[in-house]
Copies of this chain bind each other. A is one copy, B any other.
């Protein structure tokens, strides 16, 4: 595992009412020691939700402007540095999380270290839906990530007051379920080549500053492997072969061009 230097001292950056010592815990990293950063922090503390990137996505969209302060009162925004685990499988599930920035990987482990990444959470992803009192998976930031944390109990009360939110949560869960079934098909029945093609195409719909046809892979090869049920070596080899076959180009390990979209679609669908 990668050892994080000064970032390890970084605790949680907390805004939101009800968190008394929030101001004491801002990041020690250079990017947060500037006055500007602290001002932003304070600003966001005043109305964390109204200015949130995920305001109109996910479950928060179910709350109207006038009720937003109630949501904000429950929300605790946190900076999670890359590599940091913020949900541990098996721990008591005391919080819900909403990813507002960056990417997190969700995974399950076997005792001997085998890992299955069950999904990547990006802006707007809501985490912690499990009915059980313990988390069913772990979550770790892929890159520097912002998440919004809610007390499970207090959010439960809020949901009781806003049925639209429950509806929204059901929609989210239903969509996740469909995605999970698609992933089961991939893991159980697709070849390595088909899996990688499916993955690349899925990345296309993710927001990124790159030009049309270019996709970004913020996660390491190991993560892709653990997501697709393969090994790093197989991922690497498969990408190399896809390039040799002129289906993709590789600008860098993290930036890939989808060169033959139709062929990739066919591959991903299992038609070749």
Chain A residues packing against B (C-beta within 8 Å):
106, 108, 110-112, 114-116, 118, 129-132, 136-137, 163, 166-167, 169-171, 173-178, 180-185, 187-190, 226, 228-229, 269-271
Task: Give A233 Cβ to nearest chain B Cβ, in Å.
Answer: 16
Tell me, in angstroms, the Cα distance from A190 to B167 when the chains sit together.
35
- In the complex, the chain B residue whose C-beta lies closest to that of A191 is B114
Task: Give A259 Cβ to nearest chain B Cβ, in Å.
Answer: 23
B173–A110 contact, CB under 8 A? no
Query: Across chains A and B, which 4 residue pairs bring their CB atoms closest together, nearest first?
Result: A188-B229, A110-B270, A180-B180, A187-B187
Main secondary structure of the interface of A (DSSP, over half): helix
Contact pick for A178, options B115, B116, B136, B270, CB 8 Å? B136
Point out which of A169, A171, A181 has the most chain B C-beta atoms below 10 A from its C-beta. A181
Tell me, in angstroms, the Cα distance from A110 to B270 when the chains sit together.
6
- In the complex, the chain B residue whose C-beta lies closest to that of A194 is B110
Point out which of A106, A169, A177 has the most chain B C-beta atoms below 10 A from its C-beta. A177
A174–B129 contact, CB under 8 A? yes
Tell me, in angstroms, the Cα distance from A216 to B259 when the chains sit together.
50
B187–A229 contact, CB under 8 A? yes
Given A180-B181, A184-B183, the answer on whether A171 and B108 have CB atoms closer than 8 Å is no
Contact pick for A174, options B114, B130, B229, CB 8 Å? B130
Tell me, in angstroms, the Cα distance from A175 to B166 when the chains sit together.
16
A180–B182 contact, CB under 8 A? no
A116–B188 contact, CB under 8 A? yes
Contact pick for A166, options B166, B182, B271, CB 8 Å? B166
- In the complex, the chain B residue whose C-beta lies closest to that of A229 is B188
Tell me, in angstroms, the Cα distance from A232 to B137 when the chains sit together.
31
Given A163-B166, A187-B188, A270-B114, the answer on whether A178 and B108 have CB atoms closer than 8 Å is no
Contact pick for A181, options B112, B137, B174, CB 8 Å? B137
Point out which of A106, A116, A132, A271 has the most chain B C-beta atoms below 10 A from its C-beta. A116
B183–A112 contact, CB under 8 A? no
- In the complex, the chain B residue whose C-beta lies closest to that of A170 is B170
Residues of B within 8 A of A185 (CB): 108, 110, 116, 118
